[in-house]
């Protein structure tokens, strides 16, 4: 939908976090005198301070806050929905004639530049950042936007044809999309966010929009080893480029990148494939990879305290990234902190991986900690295999204390929960930050008492 087509629409913006604020500010600049409606499940006092300031200073604004905010949806013919609102929550309040869109869709349909869309269950932030760093070093006019970068609509007013936008796209953002990026990067797909999408097929359908609407002049970079991404690739009319992990060694030595595990090499290989489309010299590509700093909460090295290496992988909210982290850290990994909010995911494969590894101490959070331990116990009993020792913690401080108590010098302790953070923690960032804070605090405290 073109921006001018919004002029005569009766618009309701749902969700007033970062994206919702960006949407309101953008539309207000375009239509200064227009009346907009905004709604959020939170009451005014619970909104972020920045949102409160915007509301207090705004004119021509209708406000719907609190648990019943969706009941007014039927009164508006165009709804701009934030990605955090599940369709199943909104749908009961809609009529057939309403148009549901998002700022992602508005951006795609009005952006004059090239869009590189990056998605996958895991690795999309790292891959998008790698692509950005390489293209920027090559002197291209590139912007990092979406989940990991700046909200997108702020760029539309100044966007030109030579602008390149690297857009990290979640399944929630993709679910309402009817246009695919010029270059789509599809890393992997495995069960995740099933509390939002309600089923794995629905999640896969949302992810498939990354390439479903591509043309013959577009490009799709995808993992041919993942059966689901391989299946999704068949929907695209674009030039298909399978991600080639062995090709990484032609650009850079494995000793010059943080991890040799396939999960990280997949990100590097995908970024290299994008660089080739832009014909960026290998020397610049190598420099971009070498100077790239891994992102926080993604197998982030916290430091060595009391001779123990601590790694923060708080973004691992399902089994597969935790399995990848265990594989990456190898035999020195002896202590794993896992568990969290239960979204009904399977832990069978994780249990098998833990029993195959050298992990000897498990520190588990509620509520999935109990499920993970039951899966490990059942698996070990069937194989008549020795169990690692287990402890159940109700706070991050307690978990880190146990980690120090049962880890030895030269060993590794990993926080990789294979579960969402909700319950004990606000989000994965808070969980990871508390881990780092307690590791450093308790590690330093012991040194002072010696």
Which tens digit of pLDDT belongs to each residue from 6-20?
A: 999 999 999 999 899
Q: Which residue has the tokens 């919702």?
A: 20
- Given a cut of 50, whether residue 159 has pLDDT beyond it is yes
Residue 446: predicted pLDDT: 54
Q: How far, in Å, CA of 246 to CA of 76, rounded? A: 53
Task: Give how far Cα 334 sits from Cα of 140, 176, 199, 301, Å.
Answer: 44, 43, 34, 16
Instruction: Classify strands 36-40 and 61-65 as parallel, antiparallel or unpaired.
Output: parallel
CA angle 122, 212, 155 (to 5 degrees): 70
pLDDT tens by residue, 178-194: 999 999 999 999 887 66
Q: What is the mean pLDDT of residues 270-290?
A: 97
Q: How far, in Å, CA of 313 to CA of 287, rounded? A: 25
Residue 450: predicted pLDDT: 41
Task: Give how far Cα 436 sits from Cα of 100, 172, 304, 342, Å.
Answer: 41, 29, 11, 23
pLDDT tens by residue, 411-449: 999 999 999 999 999 999 999 999 999 999 999 875 544
Instruction: Classify strands 183-186 and 300-305 as parallel, antiparallel or unpaired.
Output: unpaired
pLDDT tens by residue, 137-157: 999 999 999 877 677 998 998
Res. 196 pLDDT band, cuts 50 70 90 = confident
Query: Across the strands, what pairs with 165?
Result: 115, 143
Q: How far, in Å, CA of 438 to CA of 92, rounded? A: 44
Tokens representing residue 136 in the block: 């920027």
Query: Across the strands, what pairs with 425?
Result: 422
Helix axes 368-383, 348-356, angle to 10 degrees: 60
Q: Look at residues 344, 430, 422 and name the one whose alpha carbon lies nearest to residue 84.
A: 422
Q: Look at residues 262, 257, 112, 86 and name the one whose alpha carbon lies nearest to residue 187.
A: 262
Q: What is the mean pLDDT of residues 227-234?
A: 97
Q: What is the mean pLDDT of residues 271-289?
A: 97
Residue 404: predicted pLDDT: 98
Question: Domain boundaries in the chain?
Answer: 3-101, 105-290, 300-449
Q: What is the mean pLDDT of residues 251-277?
A: 88
Which of the two residues, 295 and 132, has the higher pLDDT score?
A: 132
Residue 378: predicted pLDDT: 95
How many other CB atoms are found less than 10 A from the CB of residue 271? Answer: 30
The domain made up of 3-101 has a fold known as Rossmann fold (3.40.50)
Q: How far, in Å, CA of 56 to CA of 391, rounded? A: 49
Q: Does domain 105-290 have CATH number 3.40.50.300?
A: no
Residues 6+ apart with CB under 8 A from 232: 186, 189, 204, 207, 208, 210, 211, 222
Q: Look at residues 104, 105, 110 and name the one whose alpha carbon lies nearest to residue 157.
A: 110
Res. 81 pLDDT band, cuts 50 70 90 = very high
- Does residue 268 contact residue 95 with C-beta atoms inside 8 Å? no
Residue 343: predicted pLDDT: 87
Question: Which ranges of 5-120 would DSSP assign to H, the alpha helix?
Answer: 18-30, 49-57, 87-90, 103-110
Report the run of H or E that residue 62 belongs to, with start and end: strand 61-65
Instruction: Please state which CATH class domain 300-449 belongs to.
Output: alpha beta
Question: First CA to last CA across the chain, in angstroms?
Answer: 67
Residue 449: predicted pLDDT: 42
């Amino acid at each position: 939908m073109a921006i001018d087509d919004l002029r005569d629409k009766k618009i309701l913006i749902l969700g007033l976090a970062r994206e919702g604020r960006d949407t309101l500010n953008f539309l207000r600049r375009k239509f200064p005198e227009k009346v907009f409606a905004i709604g959020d499940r939170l009451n005014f006092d619970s909104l972020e301070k920045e949102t409160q300031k915007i509301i207090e200073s705004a004119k021509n604004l209708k406000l719907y806050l609190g648990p019943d905010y969706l009941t007014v949806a039927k009164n508006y013919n165009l709804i701009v929905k934030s990605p955090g609102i599940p369709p199943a929550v909104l749908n009961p309040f809609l009529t057939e004639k309403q148009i549901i869109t998002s700022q992602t869709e508005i951006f795609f349909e009005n952006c004059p530049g090239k869009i590189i869309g990056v998605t996958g269950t895991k690795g999309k932030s790292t891959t998008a950042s790698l692509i950005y760093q390489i293209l920027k070093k090559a002197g291209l006019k590139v912007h990092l936007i979406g989940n990991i970068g700046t909200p997108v609509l702020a760029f539309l007013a100044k966007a030109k044809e030579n602008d390149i936008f690297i857009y990290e796209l979640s399944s929630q953002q993709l679910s309402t999309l009817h246009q695919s990026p010029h270059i789509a990067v599809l890393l992997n797909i495995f069960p995740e966010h099933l509390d939002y999408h309600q089923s794995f097929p629905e999640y896969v359908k949302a992810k498939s929009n990354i390439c479903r609407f591509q043309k013959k002049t577009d490009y799709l970079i995808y993992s041919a080893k993942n059966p689901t991404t391989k299946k999704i690739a068949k929907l695209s009319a674009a030039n298909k480029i399978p991600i080639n992990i062995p090709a990484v060694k032609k650009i850079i030595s494995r000793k010059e990148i943080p991890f040799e595990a396939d999960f990280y090499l997949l990100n590097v290989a995908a970024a290299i494939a994008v660089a080739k489309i832009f014909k960026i010299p290998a020397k610049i590509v190598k420099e971009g990879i070498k100077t790239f700093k891994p992102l926080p909460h993604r197998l982030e090295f916290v430091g060595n305290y009391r001779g123990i290496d601590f790694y923060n992988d708080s973004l691992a909210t399902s089994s597969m990234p935790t399995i990848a982290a265990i594989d990456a850290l190898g035999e020195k990994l002896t202590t794993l902190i896992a568990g969290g909010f239960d979204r009904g995911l399977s832990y069978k494969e994780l249990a098998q991986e833990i029993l195959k590894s050298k992990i000897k101490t498990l520190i588990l959070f509620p509520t999935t900690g109990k499920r993970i331990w039951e899966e490990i116990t059942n698996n070990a009993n069937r194989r008549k295999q020795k169990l690692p020792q287990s402890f159940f913690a109700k706070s991050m401080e307690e978990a880190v204390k146990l980690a120090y108590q049962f880890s030895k010098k030269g060993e590794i302790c990993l926080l990789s929960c294979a579960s969402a953070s909700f319950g004990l923690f606000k989000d994965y960032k808070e969980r990871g930050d508390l881990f780092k804070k307690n590791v450093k605090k308790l590690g330093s405290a012991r040194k002072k008492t010696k």
